[in-house]
Amino acid sequence: MLVGDSASLIDPFTGEGIGNAMISGKWASEQARDALYEGDFSVNALKQYDKTVYKKIGGELRVSAVMQKLIKYPWLFNQFY
Ligand SMILES: Cc1cc2nc3c(=O)[nH]c(=O)nc-3n(C[C@H](O)[C@H](O)[C@H](O)COP(=O)(O)OP(=O)(O)OC[C@H]3O[C@@H](n4cnc5c(N)ncnc54)[C@H](O)[C@@H]3O)c2cc1C
C-alpha cells in the first residue's frame, strides 16, 4: 500500500501533502490490521485501501489538478479578487 507522496497524494494545486500523508497512513494501517485479523493479504483484500483513498480524497485531488492547469490563465483567477 502506497501512502503520502509515494502515492502521489500531494495536492497538485497547493503543494500541501502532510495531511494526506498522515490520513493515508492511518487508512493503510487500518487495512493492514484488517488483513492481519482476516489472514488475507491478497491484492483483492488490500484493494479496499485504494478504494478508501479514492472515495475520501480522490475528488478533492481531481479538482486541485484542474485548478493547477487553470493557473496558466491568470485573467481567470483575477476575476475572484
Ligand atoms: C519545500 C517543501 C515545502 C512543503 N511545504 C508543505 C506545507 O507547508 N504543508 C504541507 O502540507 N506539505 C508541504 N510539503 C509537502 C510535504 O512535505 C509532503 O507532502 C509530505 O512530507 C509527504 O510525507 P510522506 O511521509 O509521504 O513523505 P516524506 O515526508 O518524504 O517521508 C518519506 C521518508 O522516507 C524516507 N525514505 C526514502 N527512501 C527510503 C528507503 N529506501 N528506506 C527508508 N526510508 C526511506 C525519506 O528519507 C523520508 O524521511 C512541502 C514539501 C516541500 C518539498
> pLDDT in tens for each of the 81 residues of the chain?
999 999 999 999 999 999 999 999 999 999 999 999 999 999 999 999 999 999 999 999 999 999 999 888 888 878 876
The number of distinct structural domains making up the chain is 1
User: Which pLDDT belongs to residue 34?
Assistant: 97
As to burial, measured by CB atoms within 10 angstroms (0-12 exposed, 13-18 middle, 19+ buried), residue 24 is buried
CA of 44 to the centre of ligand 1 (A): 28
Q: Which domain holds residue 23?
A: 4-78
Distance CA(10)–CA(48), nearest Å, equals 20
Q: 63 C-alpha vs ligand 1 centroid, how far in Å?
A: 22
Q: Which pLDDT score is estimated for 37?
A: 97
pLDDT of residue 47: 96
Q: Which atom of ligand 1 is nearest to the CA of 19?
A: 11
Q: What is the pLDDT of residue 81?
A: 67
pTM, 2 dp = 0.92
Tell me, using a 6 A CB cutoff, whether residue 8 lines ligand 1: no
